[in-house]
Structure 1
Amino acid sequence: MDISYILNELGEERSQYFNAVAPPIIQTSNFMFPDVETMRRMFPHEFELPIYTRGNNPTVEILRKKLAALEGSEDALVLASGSAAIATAVIANVNQGDHIVSVAKPYSWTTKLMQNFLPRFGVTTTFVDGTDVSQFENAIQPNTKVIYLESPNTFTFELQDLAAVAKLAKAHGIVTMIDNSYSTALYQKPVELGIDVVLYSASKYIGGHSDVVAGVICGTKEMMRKIFYSEYMTLGGIISPMNAWLMIRGLRTLPLRLERSARTAAEVVAYLENHPKVRRVYFPYSKTNPQLELAKRQMSGCGGLLTISLETDQIEVVDRFANSLKRFLLGVSWGGHESLAFPASSGYADGTAQPGDTGFNLIRLYIGLEEPEGLIADLKQALEHI
């Protein structure tokens, strides 16, 4: 299906709402029935029909159709945050006594889900080096129900071989999940590589304007129905119609924003790779990435998110660099119109680190929609403070 059609036409039955070009925000909690018999007939079909906005809403339904088609999946569910989407999908596929194999160092709230929350209910997780498929194979137990991926991985962007892991999981009857927020469906197609469930923090590229928090689950209709009638409806982590509408708006320009961000990021990476005060650049398409061949094979493009390691072992120097940035805002998210910097040093509460710990010298940079010359000039002047 043509991407332009998906983003601008699919699911938009304009004749049903006064031929308006933009779909309406159906801002209602409740939907009425003409009679008791209709109500009785509709109750078992809330996955498809609007009864109560906690389950199905027409504005959200338009968004679901677009996201599923973009992903190449049969259906999608939209939730109030990326964390809600991840937790809902994982919880729906495990029971007490089950086991998860996860890539090491996933997103912080995913880590908390697996290390702190799920063990309270008898679900354990083994974290493995995702760059080696044999690590996943060796970690599988008879009670393993989920293999959780995040490729590229958070902060330093290591990759997993998605097709190889999917093949391994299918041989053992294990559900595979991936957080695909870094690439979006435009630059990586996990479903085509055999992954069962694809997850997003849609607050990032999909929303794209830093004005909405949302999450997405994509997969088969059977899987989405299973999640809908259990964890989705029970836990109630729904997105509001207004935020769904904002995401529909954001989708219109997704290819343009990704292309601009990626093009500028490539220029920034080229500059930073040759700077003497930058120890390393972490970026899937970097010429120094040992997994570059895999990145080119399973990703059709690389967005605007990268990390640099500064040539220093002092937290105060990292802080000084970050505080010197003028065009890059200091912030924790990414994927909007504005360029951002997130220094790892901000996670060291007292401003000190243990001997030998150099993790604080990492700074994640998100390249927004500004001109590359201005961003490079800003990085240049900040690096002079090292």
Structure 2
Amino acid sequence: MLNPPVHRASTIIFKTVDAYRRRHDGFYDDVIYGLYGTETTFALARAVADLEGGYQSVITSSGSAAVALALAAFTSAGDHILVSDVVYGHTRRFCQEAMVQYGVEVTYFDPLIGGAIADLVRPNTRAIFMESPGSHTFEVSDVPAICAVARKHGIVTMIDNTWATPIYFRPIEHGVDVSIAAATKYMAGHSDVMLGAMTAGSEEIYQKLKDSAGRWGVSASPDDCYLVHRGLRTLPSRLRHHERTAKALIEWLQGQPEVLRILYPALESDPGHKIWKRDFDGASGLFGVVMKPMDDAAIDRFFNHFSVFLLGSSWGSYVSLAVPAAPPPVRLAGTPPLEGTLVRFHAGLEDPADLIADLERAFARLRSGAA
């Protein structure tokens, strides 16, 4: 058969008492209890690890769960972590609320800091968490430079790699210890699954991640694992289409007087383009647009009557999305705020001509003042 079947289970039966007594010997690699994974879960974990070039992956119930479990695996009360100032909003909230609640101190750093992150390292710094490109504003970090500092000080590095997926960026090959993905998005590709993945660069890292997921009782649905595994089959083809469509939309948007700036590292004019070109093999369909300031009425006119673009979160599927950044992204590490209204677009798999026609109507509404 081409695809592994769906194995659903809670109780696993053992043939002898001795096998039952020793069941936890297989905790990391075998099916011993449904909470820790079935054959379907492990099949997806191996597939993701192969794509990432990692030792092994742990599948979680969501991308947010993967972030939380990875951070929990390597920190305890009294520790200090460094977090990129451009992380996904839920990641920031988890760090500010849960991490702090459990006695972990958090320092946010400029995503463009590179090797200068050494100045922020403390004796109790245990982890560095990155997201590149950054959420909403798409800054590209010098991941190898940051990882070189981390290795020197024995610090674990993690990155949210959802935007690029391992098709376009393989963090472990650039020195990262844990590559995290919201498999909900591009890996699944159809807006009908919640799933996350943590991929370890070594056996030691993998065991800590697996322990964290097990101790926190986080489990992934075998049915969702099956769907994501199936989605991986078409991931490269879909990403190429997303990228082509994004570039077509960006080319059109650059000609609109209301557009002040496009946030997309594949553009030669983007500040992160040089590092993106060095480290990445492509760009996905998600990008930001800074438009001239719009009040609430203008935002309503622009967004409320799209016919192809949809309003919604969890990008990465076949549908195109357009949403205002509401609330605007929080920045604590000295990054100046964007001057204008930030809009996030996800280029789906529709015909680019249909999407551009939809944008033409939206800009016409914006200019006319008509609802």
**Fold conserved (TM > 0.5)?**
yes
The structural deviation recorded for 1:21 is 3.1
The reply to whether residue 363 of structure 1 matches residue 343 of structure 2 is yes
Question: Structure 1 residues 358, 136: CA separation in 2 closer, same or farther (over 3 Å shift)?
Answer: closer
- CA distance in structure 2 between the aligned counterparts of 1:115 and 1:136, rounded to whole angstroms: 20
2:50 is matched with which residue? 69
Quick check: 1:304–1:367 contact (8 Å CA) kept in 2? yes
1:374 is matched with which residue? 354
Map 1:99-248 onto structure 2 (within 5 A). Answer: 99-219=80-200, 220-229=202-211, 231-248=212-229
SS in 2 for 1:324: coil
Instruction: Give the counterpart of 1:291 among 272, 281, 302.
Output: 272
SS in 1 for 2:187: coil
Quick check: 1:344–1:359 contact (8 Å CA) kept in 2? no
- CA distance in structure 2 between the aligned counterparts of 1:169 and 1:316, rounded to whole angstroms: 47
The reply to whether residue 344 of structure 1 matches residue 325 of structure 2 is yes
- CA distance in structure 1 between the aligned counterparts of 2:297 and 2:173, rounded to whole angstroms: 45
2:369 is matched with which residue? none
The structural deviation recorded for 1:357 is 7.6
My pick for the range that moved more, 373-382 or 316-325, is: 316-325
The reply to whether residue 385 of structure 1 matches residue 358 of structure 2 is no
The structural deviation recorded for 1:134 is 4.8
The structural deviation recorded for 1:172 is 1.0
The reply to whether residue 266 of structure 1 matches residue 247 of structure 2 is yes
- CA distance in structure 1 between the aligned counterparts of 2:209 and 2:60, rounded to whole angstroms: 12
SS in 1 for 2:199: strand
Quick check: 1:179–1:199 contact (8 Å CA) kept in 2? yes
Q: For residues 281-313 of structure 1, what are the alpha-carbon distances to aligned partners after superposition, in whole Å with 9 as ceiling and x for unaligned?
A: 111112320221111111110010011112234
SS in 2 for 1:373: helix
Aligned residues: 358
Question: Structure 1 residues 359, 335: CA separation in 2 closer, same or farther (over 3 Å shift)?
Answer: farther
- CA distance in structure 2 between the aligned counterparts of 1:185 and 1:22, rounded to whole angstroms: 21
Taking structure 2 as the reference length, the TM-score comes to 0.93
The structural deviation recorded for 1:37 is 1.4
1:35 is matched with which residue? 16
- CA distance in structure 2 between the aligned counterparts of 1:306 and 1:357, rounded to whole angstroms: 17
Quick check: 1:94–1:145 contact (8 Å CA) kept in 2? yes
Q: For residues 92-138 of structure 1, what are the alpha-carbon distances to aligned partners after superposition, in whole Å with 9 as ceiling and x for unaligned?
A: 10111100111103111100111111111110111011112255222
Quick check: 1:128–1:135 contact (8 Å CA) kept in 2? no
Question: Structure 1 residues 119, 359: CA separation in 2 closer, same or farther (over 3 Å shift)?
Answer: farther
- CA distance in structure 2 between the aligned counterparts of 1:224 and 1:150, rounded to whole angstroms: 20
Quick check: 1:308–1:364 contact (8 Å CA) kept in 2? yes
Instruction: Give the counterpart of 1:54 among 35, 49, 69.
Output: 35
SS in 2 for 1:244: helix
- CA distance in structure 2 between the aligned counterparts of 1:276 and 1:235, rounded to whole angstroms: 51
- CA distance in structure 2 between the aligned counterparts of 1:91 and 1:33, rounded to whole angstroms: 32
Question: Structure 1 residues 357, 145: CA separation in 2 closer, same or farther (over 3 Å shift)?
Answer: closer
Matched-pair identity in %: 36
Quick check: 1:48–1:56 contact (8 Å CA) kept in 2? no
Quick check: 2:293–2:339 contact (8 Å CA) kept in 1? no
The structural deviation recorded for 1:222 is 1.5
- CA distance in structure 2 between the aligned counterparts of 1:62 and 1:360, rounded to whole angstroms: 46
Corresponding letter in the other structure for 2:205 = M
Question: Structure 1 residues 360, 55: CA separation in 2 closer, same or farther (over 3 Å shift)?
Answer: farther
The reply to whether residue 310 of structure 1 matches residue 286 of structure 2 is no
My pick for the range that moved more, 272-281 or 301-310, is: 272-281
Q: For residues 200-259 of structure 1, what are the alpha-carbon distances to aligned partners after superposition, in whole Å with 9 as ceiling and x for unaligned?
A: 111010011111011100012221112212x21111121111111011111111011101
The structural deviation recorded for 1:323 is 1.3
Quick check: 2:37–2:220 contact (8 Å CA) kept in 1? no
2:301 is matched with which residue? 320
Corresponding letter in the other structure for 2:320 = S
Q: Which runs of 5+ in 1 are unaligned?
A: 1-19, 349-355
Taking structure 1 as the reference length, the TM-score comes to 0.90
The structural deviation recorded for 1:60 is 0.5
Q: Which runs of 4+ in 1 moved over 3 A?
A: 356-360
Q: For residues 44-95 of structure 1, what are the alpha-carbon distances to aligned partners after superposition, in whole Å with 9 as ceiling and x for unaligned?
A: 2121111111113100010011000100001000000001000000011011
Corresponding letter in the other structure for 2:345 = L
SS in 1 for 2:35: coil
Corresponding letter in the other structure for 2:351 = E
1:11 is matched with which residue? none
Quick check: 1:26–1:58 contact (8 Å CA) kept in 2? yes
Corresponding letter in the other structure for 1:112 = R
CA RMSD in angstroms, aligned pairs only: 1.6
Quick check: 1:159–1:291 contact (8 Å CA) kept in 2? yes
The structural deviation recorded for 1:325 is 1.9
2:332 is matched with which residue? none
SS in 2 for 1:22: coil
Corresponding letter in the other structure for 1:310 = M
